[in-house]
Amino acid sequence: MKTLRRQMLCYLLLCFAVTTYAEETISINTDNTSLIYKVDKDKKLRQVYFGSFLDAKEAEATQVTKAEAYPTFGTSYVNEAALRAVHGDGNTSTELYFEGVEQNKLSDDITQTIITLKDGYFPFTVKLCFKSYAQNDVIEQWSEISHTEKKPVTLYNYASSHLFFNEPSYHLTQFCGEWAMEMNMVETQLSRGVKNLESKLGVRSNQHSHPCFYLSLDGKAQEKAGRVVGGTLAWPGSYRLSFEVDHRENLHIISGINPYASQYILNPKEVFRTPALLYSYSSKGTGDISRRFHRWAKKYGIYRGDKTRTTLLNNWEATYFNFNEEVLSGIIKDAADMGFELFLLDDGWFANKYPRDNDKAGLGDWDCNKKKLPHGLGYLVNESKKKGIKFGIWLEPEMVNPKSELYEKHPDWVIGQPNRPLDLSRNQLILDLSNPKVQDFVFGVIDKTLSENPGIAYIKWDCNRFVTNSGSYFLSPEKQSHLWIGYVRGLFSVLDRVRAKYKDVSMMCCSGGGGRIDYGTLPYFDEFWISDNTDALDRIFIQWGTTQFFPSMALASHVSVVPNHITGRIVPLKFRFDVAMSAKLGMDLQPKDMTPEDKEFSKNAIKDYYSIRSIVQFGDLYRLLSPYENKRTAMMYVTEDQNDAVLFTYLLKKSINGNTQPLILEGLDSDKNYRVTELNKETKGYSWFTPLDGKVFSGDYLMKYGLRFTMYNEYDSKVIRITAE
């Protein structure tokens, strides 16, 4: 109650004028949070509260503020605007007034709220749309902009949402990085001015920066305590998250498509729908926010979030582009013998006139290469079936090499500028998905591959570059800035068609690593590839950041060769498996290259993974020790019924006297007793967990005193099964 009173007081004592009259109160509620708007005497919509749940009586008692719900450019507002439009007559101002609100219960869990705002002069409308997910405490917000003016309106800024805060301080955690260094967490205290997190990459949202954030309202963010807001934008294109601290220390968060070079000409009666910002408020720290997003995602945010994800062996590190039927048949046999459920054939299987023998040719020509695979993909599908496993295929249907038959026929299908030299990345160009003919082609690639080879069970969908030379040969000169939006809409149109016809085919989302990990894309995909960097030590940090918002059930994590192809680091096989087992296990390391001892260890590790897979993929994640703050890191998953859990712990730096940090467990039932058992044991050497192995402890003991055992060596790791008796 103390925290609630403090929070309400902050909103009631805003630094600017407070009125005492409201015509209407609008509450958008989940089980534990409330977002409250009020309409003032001038018919302006104001945000008055966002925090812990308030009932109807408490919501009514809140006072009106001057915090605009969706601030617009051109009148008296002088901060960053959510909306900036030029009307048909050239007027640059928009002034929105409350028109009405509709609230409908879509299910036991979801309530939809639509608040309609209209300009005082022009027939111009903005609808603020919300879905509140009661059980998961997540709010989804977007805007819908339309008009019936005689001439088109040009939109220059068109935010999905505007959130307002008035607190003594703000600490922002952003997620940034680079290829092979995705999802690094960096926290800074916001000061006056504007901080933008953004992407201008066009066909992917992520890589240099990711459309996710934490905002801590109680000093630096904490895992287990403190008031915090977490948000992520559901959009796979250029985005902007803007954080502006104004001269009165108020914070304005504006989210949406990046408006940079992206003005949009909106025709009469056309509805412009922005992507959604998904966000949640908690008074229990970032860990609570994560678990909310994970539960929400498994139900609404990823494709078939209730289905177990399969293990797979990929041929890429074994063969790259150099393979034939005999080689692949051997790898398929190895995959089955190791206990994997699927074999994935990666890049290099297609194109004949310009064969895909390297990354310089063949993209766009999706016919099976007759020299490498004379009997086609169907032969490999059948080979997999004979061995009792499934078959998957790599595709990059949005891309084309200039050295291809497709480019020779349709050079106008690519994104590029006339009278400028081709700007290649990875020797390829991007097909312009704002063009309906290109959309048909891309869908046709998927449709042809799957319909001609009905046994294909899995697609790895790649997108290996971002936009440069951003021009469209399809769009008219005055609508070139529509490319950034039209591309993503075209992509969604293709994915809609794919999923309508191929509901049972699993798909992995890959984009030069984790370039397209967002909740706009993931509803079409079963899983995602977060980084081309499979170095186990780096993956601890990459996966630590990724799982702040995205569930590990969909996070493909593979055991790879050493020295690692990217870092050159040599990491023990057990450590590599222990890290990969904390998400969705796969392997690029090839059985034919293993010693008999390593092969036997790997088979047992895969069996152990199957014994804990449901816990990892469907359990709640609790982070115990952060790799950013400790020489040792630890995390655990706990099933909903609190009967099963699995703990992962890794030593990041060698400790001469041994690292003895206690692991204080979380999420268990204090009244239950649990047996702790070490999994994935090394066949040689002594395990410092042995004195505890097989012992039974109460949940209360494990969550107070914890598990205490020494870890000595760099790359020391442990996987501990925790089972209720």
Residue 20 or 231, more confident: 231
Task: Please tell me the pTM assigned to this model.
Answer: 0.95
State both tokens at 352.
């004949």
- CB atoms under 10 Å from CB of 712, counted, come to 13
Neighbouring C-beta atoms of residue 88, cutoff 10 Å: 15
Helix axis angle for 376-386 and 436-452, nearest 10°, is: 50
Please tell me the predicted confidence (pLDDT) of residue 110.
98
pLDDT band of residue 14 (cuts 50, 70, 90) is very low
Amino acid 94: pLDDT: 98
Integer CA distances (angstroms), 659 to 223, 536, 571, 690, in order: 22, 20, 19, 16
Token pair of 453, please?
């080879």
User: Rounded CA gap, 278 and 267, in Å?
Assistant: 28
Mention every residue, 6+ apart, whose C-beta is less than 8 A from residue 247. Answer: 192
Tell which residue, 164, 298, 296, has the closest CA to residue 229.
Answer: 164
pLDDT band at 635 (very low <50, low <70, confident <90, very high): very high
Q: Decide which of 206 and 111 is more confident.
A: 111
Per-residue pLDDT tens digits for 535-551: 999 999 999 999 999 99
Q: Are 266 and 155 in contact (CB under 8 A)?
A: yes
Catalytic residue flag (residue 588): no
CB < 8 Å & 24+ apart, contacts of 704-708: 704/664, 705/662, 705/664, 706/662, 706/663, 706/664, 706/665, 707/647, 707/662, 707/663, 707/665, 707/676, 708/660, 708/662, 708/663
Average pLDDT over residues 145-173: 98
**CA angle 158–163–169, rounded 5-degree value:** 135
C-alpha span between 256 and 70 (Å, rounded): 13
Distance CA 611, CA 510 (A): 27
State the alpha helices, DSSP H only, in 297-356: 316-319, 325-338
Place of tokens 């090499």: 401
To the nearest 10 degrees (0 to 180), the angle between helices 596-618 and 573-580 is 20
- Per-residue model confidence (pLDDT) at position 206: 83
Annotation marks residue 671 as catalytic: no
Give the pLDDT confidence of 169-220 residue by residue, as tens digits. Answer: 999 999 999 999 999 999 999 999 999 999 999 998 888 999 999 999 999 9
At 287-327, the pLDDT tens digits run 999 999 999 999 999 999 999 999 999 999 889 999 999 99
Task: Decide if pLDDT at 479 tops 60.
Answer: yes
What pLDDT is stored for residue 28 in this prediction? 98
Residue 9 above 80 pLDDT?
no
| Residue of 648, 505, 649, 530 whose CA lies nearest to 586 | 530
Collapsed DSSP state (helix, strand, coil) of residue 98: strand
Mean pLDDT of 621-630: 97
d(CA 281, CA 167): 15
Other CB atoms within 10 A of residue 229 CB = 21
pLDDT band at 506 (very low <50, low <70, confident <90, very high): very high
- Return the percentage of the chain with pLDDT > 70, whole number: 97
**pLDDT higher for 561 or 18?**
561
Provide the token pair at 316.
């890429």
For residues 47 and 37, the answer to whether their CB atoms sit within 8 Å is: yes
Average per-residue pLDDT for the chain: 95
Residue located via tokens 């993929």? 617
Using CA atoms, how far apart are residues 348 and 363, in angstroms rounded to an integer?
A: 9
Q: What is the SS3 assignment for 613-673?
A: HHHHHHCEEEEEECCCCCCEEEEEEECCCCCEEEEEEEECCCCCCCECCCECCCCCCCCCE
What value does the mean pLDDT take over residues 508-525? 96
Sheet arrangement for strand 45-52: 24-29, 33-39, 45-52
pLDDT at site 21:
56
Mean pLDDT of 679-699: 93
User: What span, in angstroms and rounded, lies between the C-alpha atoms of 364 and 415?
Assistant: 14
697 vs 48: CA distance, rounded Å: 48
pLDDT confidence of 17, banded at 50, 70, 90? very low
Which DSSP string corresponds to 510-563? -BTTBTT-STTTGGG-SEEE--S---HHHHHHHHHHHTTTS-GGGEEEEE--SS
**β-pair partners for 228:** 216, 282
Catalytic site residue from 246, 359, 532, 669:
532
**How far is Cα 428 from Cα 488, in angstroms, rounded to an integer?**
19
Q: What is the pLDDT of residue 657?
A: 86
Average pLDDT over residues 422-428: 96
Whether 400 and 428 have beta carbons less than 8 Å apart is answered as yes
Reply yes or no on whether the pLDDT at 5 is more than 90: no
CA distance 407 to 426: 16
| Set 462, 518, 588, 608: catalytic member | 462
CA atoms within 13 A on the CB side of 248: 14
| Local structure of 245: helix, strand or coil | strand
pLDDT score, position 8: 44
